[in-house]
Protein backbone atom coordinates (compact mmCIF):
# COMPACT_ATOMS: atom_id res chain seq x y z
CA UNK A 1 0.00 0.00 0.00
CA UNK A 2 1.10 3.53 -0.67
CA UNK A 3 2.20 5.35 2.49
CA UNK A 4 -0.72 7.60 3.60
CA UNK A 5 1.69 10.30 4.77
CA UNK A 6 3.18 10.55 1.29
CA UNK A 7 -0.33 10.69 -0.17
CA UNK A 8 -1.31 13.53 2.19
CA UNK A 9 1.85 15.46 1.37
CA UNK A 10 1.23 15.05 -2.35
CA UNK A 11 -2.37 16.24 -1.91
CA UNK A 12 -1.01 19.28 -0.07
CA UNK A 13 1.25 20.15 -3.04
CA UNK A 14 -1.82 19.85 -5.26
CA UNK A 15 -3.77 22.17 -2.97
CA UNK A 16 -0.85 24.62 -2.83
CA UNK A 17 -0.67 24.72 -6.64
CA UNK A 18 -4.42 25.14 -6.83
CA UNK A 19 -4.25 28.01 -4.34
CA UNK A 20 -1.63 29.81 -6.41
CA UNK A 21 -3.63 29.25 -9.57
CA UNK A 22 -6.85 30.45 -7.95
CA UNK A 23 -5.33 33.68 -6.66
CA UNK A 24 -3.04 34.66 -9.54
CA UNK A 25 -4.70 33.19 -12.61
CA UNK A 26 -8.06 33.89 -10.96
CA UNK A 27 -7.16 37.58 -10.89
CA UNK A 28 -6.12 37.41 -14.56
CA UNK A 29 -9.42 35.76 -15.49
CA UNK A 30 -11.18 38.47 -13.54
CA UNK A 31 -9.23 41.07 -15.52
CA UNK A 32 -10.69 39.61 -18.70
CA UNK A 33 -14.16 39.59 -17.18
CA UNK A 34 -13.92 43.31 -16.39
CA UNK A 35 -12.53 43.92 -19.84
CA UNK A 36 -15.77 42.44 -21.20
CA UNK A 37 -17.93 44.41 -18.76
CA UNK A 38 -16.03 47.67 -19.00
CA UNK A 39 -18.49 50.50 -19.30
CA UNK A 40 -18.89 54.15 -18.49
CA UNK A 41 -16.80 57.14 -19.58
CA UNK A 42 -13.49 55.56 -18.50
CA UNK A 43 -13.99 52.37 -20.51
CA UNK A 44 -10.64 52.58 -22.31
CA UNK A 45 -8.75 53.54 -19.16
CA UNK A 46 -10.23 50.52 -17.42
CA UNK A 47 -9.10 48.21 -20.21
CA UNK A 48 -5.63 49.72 -20.30
CA UNK A 49 -5.23 49.33 -16.56
CA UNK A 50 -6.20 45.66 -16.88
CA UNK A 51 -3.75 45.02 -19.72
CA UNK A 52 -0.99 46.78 -17.85
CA UNK A 53 -1.57 44.75 -14.73
CA UNK A 54 -1.68 41.43 -16.61
CA UNK A 55 0.97 42.02 -19.28
CA UNK A 56 4.15 40.87 -17.60
CA UNK A 57 2.69 38.24 -15.27
CA UNK A 58 -0.15 36.35 -16.96
CA UNK A 59 2.05 33.73 -18.60
CA UNK A 60 3.79 32.84 -15.35
CA UNK A 61 0.38 32.71 -13.65
CA UNK A 62 -0.93 30.43 -16.37
CA UNK A 63 1.88 27.93 -15.82
CA UNK A 64 0.20 26.87 -12.55
CA UNK A 65 -2.45 24.94 -14.49
CA UNK A 66 0.27 23.01 -16.33
CA UNK A 67 1.91 22.35 -13.00
CA UNK A 68 -1.39 21.06 -11.61
CA UNK A 69 -1.92 18.71 -14.55
CA UNK A 70 1.56 17.24 -14.19
CA UNK A 71 1.11 16.81 -10.43
CA UNK A 72 -2.17 15.06 -11.01
CA UNK A 73 -0.86 12.52 -13.49
CA UNK A 74 2.44 11.98 -11.71
CA UNK A 75 1.06 11.51 -8.21
CA UNK A 76 -2.53 10.41 -8.93
CA UNK A 77 -2.60 8.91 -12.43
CA UNK A 78 -5.87 7.03 -11.88
CA UNK A 79 -7.65 10.23 -10.89
CA UNK A 80 -6.24 12.05 -13.91
CA UNK A 81 -7.54 9.35 -16.21
CA UNK A 82 -10.99 9.34 -14.56
CA UNK A 83 -11.34 13.14 -14.79
CA UNK A 84 -10.20 13.26 -18.41
CA UNK A 85 -12.70 10.60 -19.52
CA UNK A 86 -15.56 11.74 -17.29
CA UNK A 87 -15.20 15.45 -18.02
CA UNK A 88 -14.13 15.19 -21.67
CA UNK A 89 -16.39 17.97 -22.95
CA UNK A 90 -16.00 20.50 -20.09
CA UNK A 91 -12.22 20.03 -20.06
CA UNK A 92 -12.10 20.51 -23.83
CA UNK A 93 -14.06 23.71 -23.31
CA UNK A 94 -11.55 24.86 -20.67
CA UNK A 95 -8.74 24.12 -23.09
CA UNK A 96 -10.44 26.03 -25.89
CA UNK A 97 -11.02 28.93 -23.50
CA UNK A 98 -7.36 28.98 -22.45
CA UNK A 99 -6.14 28.93 -26.05
CA UNK A 100 -8.47 31.71 -27.17
CA UNK A 101 -7.74 33.78 -24.11
CA UNK A 102 -3.95 33.51 -24.38
CA UNK A 103 -3.88 34.06 -28.11
CA UNK A 104 -6.37 36.92 -27.88
CA UNK A 105 -4.33 38.68 -25.21
CA UNK A 106 -0.91 38.23 -26.83
CA UNK A 107 -2.03 39.16 -30.31
CA UNK A 108 -4.14 42.11 -29.15
CA UNK A 109 -1.16 43.60 -27.35
CA UNK A 110 0.67 43.83 -30.68
CA UNK A 111 -2.12 45.02 -32.94
CA UNK A 112 -2.22 48.65 -31.70
CA UNK A 113 -2.65 50.27 -35.10
CA UNK A 114 -5.50 48.04 -36.26
CA UNK A 115 -8.44 49.12 -34.11
CA UNK A 116 -10.89 46.66 -35.67
CA UNK A 117 -8.64 43.61 -35.28
CA UNK A 118 -7.80 44.79 -31.79
CA UNK A 119 -11.46 45.10 -30.84
CA UNK A 120 -12.25 41.59 -32.05
CA UNK A 121 -9.21 40.10 -30.35
CA UNK A 122 -10.22 41.93 -27.20
CA UNK A 123 -13.66 40.37 -27.42
CA UNK A 124 -12.16 36.90 -27.89
CA UNK A 125 -9.92 37.46 -24.89
CA UNK A 126 -12.67 38.77 -22.63
CA UNK A 127 -15.39 36.28 -23.54
CA UNK A 128 -13.01 33.35 -23.07
CA UNK A 129 -11.97 34.89 -19.74
CA UNK A 130 -15.54 34.35 -18.58
CA UNK A 131 -15.96 30.88 -20.09
CA UNK A 132 -12.76 29.39 -18.70
CA UNK A 133 -13.25 30.07 -14.96
CA UNK A 134 -16.92 29.17 -15.38
CA UNK A 135 -15.95 25.78 -16.81
CA UNK A 136 -13.36 25.24 -14.07
CA UNK A 137 -15.93 25.88 -11.34
CA UNK A 138 -18.43 23.80 -13.30
CA UNK A 139 -16.03 20.82 -13.33
CA UNK A 140 -15.49 21.13 -9.58
CA UNK A 141 -19.26 21.01 -9.11
CA UNK A 142 -19.64 17.95 -11.34
CA UNK A 143 -16.90 16.11 -9.45
CA UNK A 144 -18.45 16.96 -6.07
CA UNK A 145 -21.86 15.84 -7.29
CA UNK A 146 -20.46 12.34 -7.84
CA UNK A 147 -21.35 12.42 -11.55
CA UNK A 148 -18.14 10.74 -12.75
CA UNK A 149 -18.90 7.05 -12.42
CA UNK A 150 -16.84 3.90 -12.97
CA UNK A 151 -17.87 1.73 -15.94
CA UNK A 152 -17.41 -1.50 -13.96
CA UNK A 153 -14.48 -2.79 -16.03
CA UNK A 154 -11.75 -0.57 -14.58
CA UNK A 155 -12.54 2.42 -16.81
CA UNK A 156 -14.84 5.42 -16.41
CA UNK A 157 -18.01 6.70 -18.03
CA UNK A 158 -18.28 10.07 -19.68
CA UNK A 159 -20.68 12.26 -17.69
CA UNK A 160 -23.91 12.74 -19.70
CA UNK A 161 -25.08 16.29 -20.53
CA UNK A 162 -28.11 15.92 -18.29
CA UNK A 163 -25.81 15.66 -15.28
CA UNK A 164 -23.34 18.25 -16.54
CA UNK A 165 -26.17 20.76 -16.81
CA UNK A 166 -27.59 20.14 -13.32
CA UNK A 167 -28.20 23.29 -11.24
CA UNK A 168 -25.43 22.76 -8.66
CA UNK A 169 -22.47 22.57 -11.12
CA UNK A 170 -23.82 25.57 -13.02
CA UNK A 171 -23.97 27.58 -9.80
CA UNK A 172 -20.42 26.56 -8.81
CA UNK A 173 -19.31 27.75 -12.26
CA UNK A 174 -20.97 31.12 -11.71
CA UNK A 175 -19.48 31.29 -8.22
CA UNK A 176 -16.00 30.78 -9.70
CA UNK A 177 -16.61 33.59 -12.20
CA UNK A 178 -17.78 36.01 -9.52
CA UNK A 179 -14.85 35.16 -7.23
CA UNK A 180 -12.40 35.87 -10.08
CA UNK A 181 -14.17 39.15 -10.80
CA UNK A 182 -14.03 40.13 -7.12
CA UNK A 183 -10.32 39.37 -6.77
CA UNK A 184 -9.41 41.17 -9.99
CA UNK A 185 -11.39 44.29 -9.19
CA UNK A 186 -9.87 44.36 -5.69
CA UNK A 187 -6.33 44.01 -7.04
CA UNK A 188 -7.02 46.75 -9.57
CA UNK A 189 -8.09 49.20 -6.86
CA UNK A 190 -4.55 48.87 -5.52
CA UNK A 191 -2.97 49.40 -8.94
CA UNK A 192 -4.98 52.47 -9.97
CA UNK A 193 -5.84 55.92 -8.62
CA UNK A 194 -8.60 58.50 -8.57
CA UNK A 195 -11.86 57.88 -10.36
CA UNK A 196 -10.49 54.76 -12.07
CA UNK A 197 -9.92 53.33 -8.63
CA UNK A 198 -13.51 54.20 -7.72
CA UNK A 199 -14.67 52.31 -10.83
CA UNK A 200 -12.90 49.17 -9.73
CA UNK A 201 -14.03 49.60 -6.13
CA UNK A 202 -17.64 49.62 -7.32
CA UNK A 203 -16.94 46.52 -9.42
CA UNK A 204 -15.42 44.74 -6.43
CA UNK A 205 -18.63 45.41 -4.51
CA UNK A 206 -20.82 44.18 -7.38
CA UNK A 207 -18.74 41.00 -7.76
CA UNK A 208 -18.82 40.52 -4.00
CA UNK A 209 -22.59 40.61 -4.22
CA UNK A 210 -22.39 37.89 -6.89
CA UNK A 211 -20.19 35.77 -4.65
CA UNK A 212 -22.71 36.09 -1.80
CA UNK A 213 -25.63 35.29 -4.10
CA UNK A 214 -24.12 32.19 -5.67
CA UNK A 215 -22.85 30.91 -2.32
CA UNK A 216 -26.36 31.30 -0.91
CA UNK A 217 -27.78 29.43 -3.92
CA UNK A 218 -25.06 26.79 -3.94
CA UNK A 219 -25.32 25.61 -0.36
CA UNK A 220 -28.94 24.35 -0.52
CA UNK A 221 -28.34 22.90 -3.99
CA UNK A 222 -25.31 21.03 -2.67
CA UNK A 223 -27.50 19.57 0.04
CA UNK A 224 -29.58 17.73 -2.57
CA UNK A 225 -27.08 17.27 -5.42
CA UNK A 226 -23.70 16.85 -3.70
CA UNK A 227 -24.59 15.34 -0.30
CA UNK A 228 -21.04 14.25 0.62
CA UNK A 229 -19.70 17.74 0.04
CA UNK A 230 -22.60 19.48 1.70
CA UNK A 231 -22.40 17.24 4.76
CA UNK A 232 -18.75 18.14 5.34
CA UNK A 233 -19.28 21.81 4.53
CA UNK A 234 -22.21 22.34 6.87
CA UNK A 235 -21.60 19.95 9.73
CA UNK A 236 -18.26 18.26 9.26
CA UNK A 237 -14.58 19.09 9.18
CA UNK A 238 -14.96 21.94 6.72
CA UNK A 239 -17.45 23.89 8.86
CA UNK A 240 -14.85 26.07 10.66
CA UNK A 241 -13.39 27.06 7.29
CA UNK A 242 -16.85 27.84 5.91
CA UNK A 243 -17.53 30.12 8.89
CA UNK A 244 -14.11 31.74 8.46
CA UNK A 245 -14.80 32.28 4.75
CA UNK A 246 -18.10 33.93 5.65
CA UNK A 247 -16.33 36.27 8.09
CA UNK A 248 -13.66 37.14 5.49
CA UNK A 249 -16.35 37.74 2.89
CA UNK A 250 -18.07 40.25 5.18
CA UNK A 251 -14.75 41.83 6.09
CA UNK A 252 -13.91 42.16 2.39
CA UNK A 253 -17.20 43.96 1.88
CA UNK A 254 -16.51 46.33 4.78
CA UNK A 255 -12.93 47.20 3.82
CA UNK A 256 -13.92 47.81 0.19
CA UNK A 257 -16.86 49.97 1.27
CA UNK A 258 -14.64 52.03 3.59
CA UNK A 259 -11.84 52.31 0.99
CA UNK A 260 -9.26 50.65 3.25
CA UNK A 261 -6.96 50.11 0.25
CA UNK A 262 -4.07 49.09 2.47
CA UNK A 263 -5.77 45.80 3.32
CA UNK A 264 -8.34 45.03 0.60
CA UNK A 265 -5.90 42.90 -1.37
CA UNK A 266 -4.96 40.75 1.61
CA UNK A 267 -8.58 40.16 2.62
CA UNK A 268 -9.49 39.14 -0.92
CA UNK A 269 -6.58 36.69 -1.15
CA UNK A 270 -7.41 35.22 2.24
CA UNK A 271 -11.06 34.84 1.20
CA UNK A 272 -10.22 32.93 -1.99
CA UNK A 273 -7.78 30.66 -0.17
CA UNK A 274 -10.20 29.83 2.63
CA UNK A 275 -13.04 29.10 0.19
CA UNK A 276 -10.74 26.78 -1.75
CA UNK A 277 -9.48 25.04 1.38
CA UNK A 278 -13.02 24.63 2.69
CA UNK A 279 -13.93 22.90 -0.57
CA UNK A 280 -10.77 20.79 -0.37
CA UNK A 281 -11.45 19.78 3.21
CA UNK A 282 -15.04 18.89 2.32
CA UNK A 283 -14.01 16.79 -0.67
CA UNK A 284 -11.24 14.92 1.16
CA UNK A 285 -10.50 11.96 0.94
CA UNK A 286 -12.01 11.69 -2.53
CA UNK A 287 -10.26 12.54 -5.77
CA UNK A 288 -13.41 11.46 -7.61
CA UNK A 289 -16.36 11.67 -5.22
CA UNK A 290 -17.37 9.07 -3.99
CA UNK A 291 -15.70 6.39 -6.09
CA UNK A 292 -11.97 7.02 -5.91
CA UNK A 293 -9.92 8.30 -2.97
CA UNK A 294 -6.54 9.97 -3.31
CA UNK A 295 -5.12 6.98 -1.49
CA UNK A 296 -6.47 4.61 -4.16
CA UNK A 297 -5.44 6.90 -7.01
CA UNK A 298 -1.84 7.39 -5.76
CA UNK A 299 0.98 6.13 -7.98
CA UNK A 300 3.55 4.46 -5.68
CA UNK A 301 5.84 5.10 -2.72
CA UNK A 302 8.86 5.30 -5.04
CA UNK A 303 7.25 7.86 -7.32
CA UNK A 304 5.75 9.98 -4.55
CA UNK A 305 9.08 10.13 -2.71
CA UNK A 306 11.00 11.25 -5.78
CA UNK A 307 8.18 13.59 -6.76
CA UNK A 308 8.11 15.31 -3.35
CA UNK A 309 11.88 15.68 -3.51
CA UNK A 310 11.52 17.39 -6.88
CA UNK A 311 8.88 19.73 -5.47
CA UNK A 312 11.24 20.81 -2.69
CA UNK A 313 14.14 21.45 -5.08
CA UNK A 314 11.89 23.03 -7.71
CA UNK A 315 10.24 25.35 -5.20
CA UNK A 316 13.62 26.48 -3.91
CA UNK A 317 14.26 27.85 -7.41
CA UNK A 318 10.71 28.88 -8.27
CA UNK A 319 9.74 30.88 -5.20
CA UNK A 320 12.63 33.40 -5.34
CA UNK A 321 12.10 33.78 -9.10
CA UNK A 322 8.41 34.53 -8.62
CA UNK A 323 9.17 37.02 -5.86
CA UNK A 324 11.66 38.72 -8.16
CA UNK A 325 9.06 38.88 -10.96
CA UNK A 326 6.43 40.49 -8.76
CA UNK A 327 9.00 42.83 -7.16
CA UNK A 328 9.97 44.12 -10.60
CA UNK A 329 6.43 44.61 -11.90
CA UNK A 330 4.03 44.91 -8.98
CA UNK A 331 3.93 46.91 -5.80
CA UNK A 332 1.80 50.03 -5.65
CA UNK A 333 1.02 51.86 -8.88
CA UNK A 334 3.48 50.17 -11.22
CA UNK A 335 4.55 52.10 -14.26
CA UNK A 336 3.33 50.89 -17.62
CA UNK A 337 5.32 47.88 -18.76
CA UNK A 338 7.63 49.44 -21.29
CA UNK A 339 9.42 47.91 -24.19
Partner 1 sequence: MTELMAARIQMGSSLAFHICFAVLGIGMPALLMITEGLWLRTRNEVYLDLARTWSKAFAVTFGIGAISGTMLSFELGLLWPRFMEFAGGIIGMPFSLEGFAFFIEAIFLAIYLYGWNRLTPRAHFLCGIPLVLGGFLSTFFIVSANAWMNTPAGFKLDANGAITDIDPIAAMFNPAFPTQYLHMLFAALVCSGFAVASVYAVGMLKGRRDEYHRKGLAIGLAFAAIVMPIQLVTGDLIAVMVTKNQPLKLATMEGLYKTTQGAPLTLFGYPDDQKQEVVGGIEIPYLLSILAYNNPNATVQGMEEFPEENWPNTMLVHTAYDLMITVGSALMLPGLIALYAWRRRPHWLEAKPFLWMMVATGPAAYLCMEAGWITTESGRQPWVIYNVLKVEDSVTTATGILGWFILFSAVYVVITVLMISILLRMARKRRQRLAAAELAAEVQGG
Reduced to 3 states, what is the DSSP secondary structure of residue 156? strand
- The single residue among 36, 103, 217, 234 that binds partner 1, judged by CB under 8 A, is 103
C-alpha distances in Å from residue 233, one per residue of 218, 283, 327: 11, 9, 37
> In this complex, which beta carbon is closest to partner 1, that of residue 126 or of residue 256?
126
> In this complex, which beta carbon is closest to partner 1, that of residue 36 or of residue 69?
69
CB of 148 vs partner 1, minimal distance in Å: 12
Please list every residue from 219 through 278 that binds partner 1, using CB under 8 A: none
- The single residue among 39, 259, 266, 324 that binds partner 1, judged by CB under 8 A, is 324
CB neighbours of residue 29 within 10 Å? 30
Asked if residues 118 and 323 have their Cβ atoms less than 8 Å apart, the reply is no
Asked if residues 137 and 172 have their Cβ atoms less than 8 Å apart, the reply is yes
- The single residue among 12, 117, 165, 260 that binds partner 1, judged by CB under 8 A, is 117
Which residues, at least 6 apart from 85, have a Cβ–Cβ distance to it below 8 Å?
155, 156, 157, 158
> In this complex, which beta carbon is closest to partner 1, that of residue 80 or of residue 271?
80
> In this complex, which beta carbon is closest to partner 1, that of residue 155 or of residue 209?
155
Rule CB under 8 A: say whether 95 interacts with partner 1: yes
Q: Are strands 292-293 and 286-288 parallel, antiparallel or unpaired?
A: antiparallel
Rule CB under 8 A: say whether 24 interacts with partner 1: no
CB of 86 vs partner 1, minimal distance in Å: 8
> In this complex, which beta carbon is closest to partner 1, that of residue 130 or of residue 221?
130
Rule CB under 8 A: say whether 50 interacts with partner 1: no
The count of residues interacting with partner 1 (CB under 8 A) is 71
CB of 76 vs partner 1, minimal distance in Å: 8
The whole-angstrom separation of Cα 249 and Cα 241 is 12
The whole-angstrom separation of Cα 238 and Cα 213 is 20
Please list every residue from 141 through 170 that binds partner 1, using CB under 8 A: 151, 155-158
How many CA atoms are closer than 13 Å to the CA of 198, on its beta-carbon side?
Answer: 5
Rule CB under 8 A: say whether 322 interacts with partner 1: yes
Scanning 2-86, the segments in alpha helix (DSSP H) are: 4-20, 26-36, 43-54, 58-75, 77-86
Asked if residues 72 and 80 have their Cβ atoms less than 8 Å apart, the reply is yes
> In this complex, which beta carbon is closest to partner 1, that of residue 69 or of residue 263?
69
- Helix (H) / strand (E) element for 288: namely strand 286-288
Rule CB under 8 A: say whether 123 interacts with partner 1: no
Rule CB under 8 A: say whether 329 interacts with partner 1: yes
Peptide bond connecting 87 to the previous residue in cis, omega within 30 degrees of 0: no
Rule CB under 8 A: say whether 63 interacts with partner 1: yes
CB of 238 vs partner 1, minimal distance in Å: 28
> In this complex, which beta carbon is closest to partner 1, that of residue 85 or of residue 217?
85
CB of 84 vs partner 1, minimal distance in Å: 4
The whole-angstrom separation of Cα 333 and Cα 189 is 10
Please list every residue from 274 through 313 that binds partner 1, using CB under 8 A: 299-300, 302-303, 306-307, 310-311
Amino acid sequence: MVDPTLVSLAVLTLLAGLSMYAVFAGADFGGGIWDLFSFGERKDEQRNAISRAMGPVWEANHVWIIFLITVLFTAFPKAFSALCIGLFAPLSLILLGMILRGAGFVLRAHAEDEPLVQRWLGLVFSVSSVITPFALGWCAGVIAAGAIKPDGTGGWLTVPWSELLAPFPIVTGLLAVSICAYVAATFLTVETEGSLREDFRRRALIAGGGVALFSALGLPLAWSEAPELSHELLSGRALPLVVFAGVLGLLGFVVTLTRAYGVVRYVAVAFVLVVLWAWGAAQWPYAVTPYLTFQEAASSNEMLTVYLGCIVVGSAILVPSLIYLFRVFKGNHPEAGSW
